[in-house]
């Protein structure tokens, strides 16, 4: 019985020693990891950068924005409702305003005719949808592409 007890102690002792070795390795790995993290914070560089833009850059950006707005206005679809002489166009303009009070119409002169145009649409699909409504009353209406 004593012999069995000694073998159990020896087995437990060897297991205990191997666990101690594993624990020591784990502690040393954790210690090295913490040391490296601390060194990275201590040796890290901290800087603040200030950017200053020339005053001309602001004026150039404002001009660019204005040009972009102008170009998008040029690239919009419109509907031409009618064209003809001044008298015929003004009477059709009054008729158009009476039938479509929510739409704004412009009277434009391009030699030799006066024209009625309405809408500023960004896509052809929007312009086509409005054209269907207008075309019921004004058969000659069509979409002008930019």
Q: Which CATH class is domain 74-144?
A: alpha beta
Portion of the chain with pLDDT greater than 70, in percent: 71
What single string gives the DSSP state of each residue in the chain?
A: -HHHHHHHHHHHHHHHHHHHHHHHHHHHHHHHHHHHHHHHHHH-----------HHHHHHHHHHHHHHHHHHHHT-EEEEEEEE-HHHHHHHHHHHHHH-TTS-EEEEEETTEEEEEEEEESSHHHHHHHHHHHHTT-TT-EEEP-
The residue extents of the domains of the chain are: 74-144
- Cβ atoms within 10 Å, residue 145: 10
Residue 6: the pLDDT is 46
The tens digit of pLDDT for each residue in 81-115 reads 999 999 999 999 999 999 999 999 999 999 899 99
Residue 69: the pLDDT is 81
Which of the residue ranges 3-12, 30-39, 59-68, 125-134 would you say has the lowest mean pLDDT? 3-12
pTM exceeding the 0.85 threshold for the entire prediction: no
Residue 93: the pLDDT is 95
């Amino acid at each position: 019985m004593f012999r069995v007890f000694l073998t159990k102690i020896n087995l437990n002792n060897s297991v205990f020693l191997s666990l101690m070795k594993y624990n020591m390795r784990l502690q040393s790995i954790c210690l090295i990891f913490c040391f490296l993290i601390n060194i990275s914070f201590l040796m890290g560089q901290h800087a603040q950068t200030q950017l200053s833009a020339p005053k001309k850059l602001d004026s150039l950006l404002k001009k660019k924005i204005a040009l972009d707005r102008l170009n998008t206005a040029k690239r919009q679809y419109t509907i031409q409702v009618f064209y003809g002489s001044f008298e015929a166009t003004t009477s059709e303009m009054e008729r158009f305003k009476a039938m479509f009070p929510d739409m704004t119409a412009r009277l434009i002169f391009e030699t030799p005719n006066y024209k009625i145009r309405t809408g500023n649409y960004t896509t052809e699909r929007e312009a086509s949808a409005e054209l269907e409504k207008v075309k019921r009353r004004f058969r000659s209406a069509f979409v002008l592409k930019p």
